[in-house]
Structure 1
Amino acid sequence: MGHGHGLRRNLVFSVVLNLTMTIAEVIGGILSGSLALLSDSLHNFSDSMSLLASYFALKLGERRANEKYTFGYKRAEILVAFVNSAVLVGISLFLLVEAYRRFKNPQPIDTAIMLPVAVVGLVANLLSVLLLHGHAHGLNIRSAYLHLLSDTLSSVAVIIGGLLIRFYGVGWIDPLVTVFISLYILREAYVVLRESVEVLMEASPELDFEAIKAELESIPSVKNAHHFHAWRVGENGIHFECHLSVEDMLLSEAQRIIDEAEKRLKKFGITHVTVQLEVDRCASKDLVCEKE
């Protein structure tokens, strides 16, 4: 519980920090004319929203299962990870378009305003990254952490770009920095987006069904294992169901087979098992079995 409380406290602190920096960078970007600084402010705003969503997803995920949500609320964190990563993709594409426009129509940039604001933004983002670094394991927090990490790199790039503009007068470096930042964010966001979509679409986790079939059929009295389904409700737990064709036996013997199947499936990382036993219903030995 203490670990969860510390994470929620860090999330709230990071939200306040990023909202403050968003306002500062919007003002600084407008006054200085820096697209890179404005892009950084958009990242900070999306950081704030993603952190806020992650906070509420954590709170919701702690609620117990009930008659309506029999699996509980863990998938709320996957939904937030999906939204966070999708927003990152959208922002990155928008910034690429804006960078193209800025390449075509360069604008003067006031680095006296741009640089100090970017430095403060870097410090704020770096502090938020450090606060969440130890918690960036699940998809939900990892998606928010990626927001913060990308914004930290963005701040570094903005500062480097500002220095080059100030001392060498290369104004085109501002949209170029924006392009590199956006491409990096796109790559990182895609990984989280793909995995969250797989969970939401109930795609099978990476399991060796043939190995599982062989393992189950090695249980004494089991003639065939088929009708496999595997999915994830949240990020970690793997649910699995199957049918086992067995010899005619007493109910007490049947329970022994179910217990043994659950025990053996644990080695594959499966956390929740549903087994249906059958007698003389399967005409083949395939995974998908035709009834006799």
Structure 2
Amino acid sequence: MKHSHNHSHNHSEGVSNVTMAFLLNFGFSILELFGGIITGSTAILSDAVHDFGDSLALALSFIFEKVGKKESNEKYTYGYKRLSLIGAFINITVLSVGTIFVFNQALQALRNPTAVKAEGMLFLAVIGIVINGASVFRMKGSKKILDKTVMMHLMEDLLGWVAVLVVSVVIYFTNWYILDPILSLGICFVIGRNIYFNLKTALMIIMQRVPDEDLYEEIKEHLIEMDEIENIEKINMWTMDGEMHVVTASIKALENTNKVDVLNKIKKMLNNEGIKESTIEVL
């Protein structure tokens, strides 16, 4: 069973990517706020709140990316990798508050639909597609939990602006103004769904669930195939932040086997699989 794992990343590029994505989304969220007020669109106002939440997540990602590179010390022996997890929880909280606000606004507009300026919605939708598309491209490839939550939000923003584009065209030709609050409720549903899945992922990391079951089984298989090993007493795997995985294991070697050689062989195998942090006991 072949399973490739590549955990190398260009952190400097990552920081610059997050910075650019933040600047694009924060600037556009301000434009959306005024645009939503001018056009009278609750859908655009809801996206403004959503984009502000994404901007906050991007800012946290930028800060924690820099702090996370600090070396481990006697107090934080694993370093600062889990700062990204804290950032994910902050972002989830902000998005939850924003979603409740948007949901209430959309319900009020649904009960009493008002005219919206479709041309302005169309203009903002085109800009939104370009801005969020550029942000998605720059954030692509990261495996960190915070960056994953940001990427998911940006992807939905992109799809959301496509929906705004379609709705604005329909409203322009039909004056079906009720479509605007309906779209707002749809955005709330999408945000709520992501909050659930992101919270679930973050909690799995806290509970130290196996982060990659295929990799876990592959490591066990490699150990079983080693002639020097009699039995695998115990093997644990968890992740610090969704990217940096940790393995601990208790291995019983055959009698008259050089335990140092066995340990070095196991360490080399783990290193080849992308596991840089491990504690191995050879009995």
Q: Is TM-score (shorter-chain normalized) higher than 0.5?
A: yes
Of 60-69 and 157-166, the range deviating more from structure 2 = 157-166
Shift of 1:4: 3.2
Once residues 56 and 200 of structure 1 are traced to their aligned partners in structure 2, the CA distance between those partners, rounded to angstroms, is: 21
Instruction: Name 1:149's counterpart in structure 2.
Output: 155
Query: Kindly tell me: are residues 6 and 207 of structure 1, through their superposed partners in 2, closer, same or farther at Cα, counting changes over 3 Å?
Result: closer
Aligned to 1:229: 236
Summarize deviations over 1:207-244 as a string: whole Å, max 9, x none: 47787667546645644322332211232333222223
Q: C-alpha deviations, 1:167-213, integer Å up to 9, x for none?
A: 21111100121233333344445444332322222112344778766
Following the alignment from structure 1 to structure 2, what is the Cα–Cα distance between the partners of residues 194 and 230? 18
**Match for residue 257 of structure 1?**
262
**Partner of 2:26 in structure 1?**
19
SS in 1 for 2:53: helix
| Equivalent pair of 1:228/1:240 in contact (CA under 8 Å) | yes
* Larger gyration radius, structure 1 or structure 2: 1
Distance 2:178 2:160 in 1: 16
The answer to whether the Cα contact below 8 Å between 2:49 and 2:102 also exists between their aligned partners in 1 is: no
Contact 2:249/2:280 (8 A) holds in 1: yes
For residue 72 of structure 1, what is the amino acid of its counterpart?
G
- What is residue 284 of structure 1 aligned with on the other side? none
Residue 3 (structure 2) aligns with = none
User: Map of 1:172-211 to 2, 5 A cutoff?
Assistant: 172-207=178-213
Q: Does 1:43 align with 2:50?
A: yes
The structure whose RCO (Cα within 8 Å, separation 6+) is larger is: 2
What's the CA shift string for 1:32-77, capped at 9, x where partnerless? 3211010111122112111111111111121111111111112222
Moved more, 82-91 or 210-219: 210-219
1:283 matched residue in structure 2: none
Contact 1:99 1:178 in 2 (8 A): yes
Q: Does the Cα contact within 8 Å between 1:77 and 1:234 map onto a contact in 2?
A: yes
Residue 7 of structure 1, CA deviation: 3.3
Change in 2 beyond 3 A, CA 1:33/1:217:
closer
Q: Which residue of 2 aligns with 1:130?
A: 137
Local SS of the residue matching 2:153: helix
1: CA distance between counterparts of 2:15 and 2:72? 21
Name 2:13's counterpart in structure 1: 6
Q: Find out whether 1:272 has 2:259 as its counterpart.
A: no
CA RMSD of aligned residues (A): 3.2
Task: Tell me the secondary structure at the aligned position of residue 224 of structure 1.
Answer: strand
Q: Secondary structure at the match of 2:171?
A: helix
CA distance in 2, matches of 1:101, 1:154: 21
Q: Deviations for 1:61-103, whole angstroms, at most 9, x for unmatched residues?
A: 2111111111111222233234435544554455344433322
Aligned partner of 2:60 in structure 1 is 53
Are the aligned partners of 1:223 and 1:247 in contact in 2 as well (CA < 8 Å)? yes
Instruction: Write the letter of the residue equivalent to 1:174.
Output: D
Deviates more, 1:180-189 or 1:34-43: 180-189
- Is the contact between residue 88 and residue 147 of structure 1 (CA under 8 Å) also seen in structure 2? no
Q: Which moved more, 1:161-170 or 1:3-12?
A: 3-12
Distance 1:130 1:239 in 2: 30
Q: State the distance in 2 between where 1:44 and 1:275 align.
A: 45
Q: What fraction of aligned residue pairs are identical, expressed as a percent?
A: 29
Indicate conservation of the 8 Å contact 1:207/1:268, yes or no.
Answer: no
Cα distance between partner residues in 1 of 2:84 and 2:278: 23
Structure 1 residue 20 displacement after superposition: 2.2
Q: 1:29 to 1:214 in 2, by over 3 A?
A: closer
The answer to which of 50-59 and 16-25 deviates more is 16-25
TM-score norm. by structure 1 comes to 0.78
Structure 1 SS opposite 2:73:
coil
Q: Secondary structure at the match of 1:239?
A: strand
1:168 is matched by which residue type in structure 2?
Answer: T
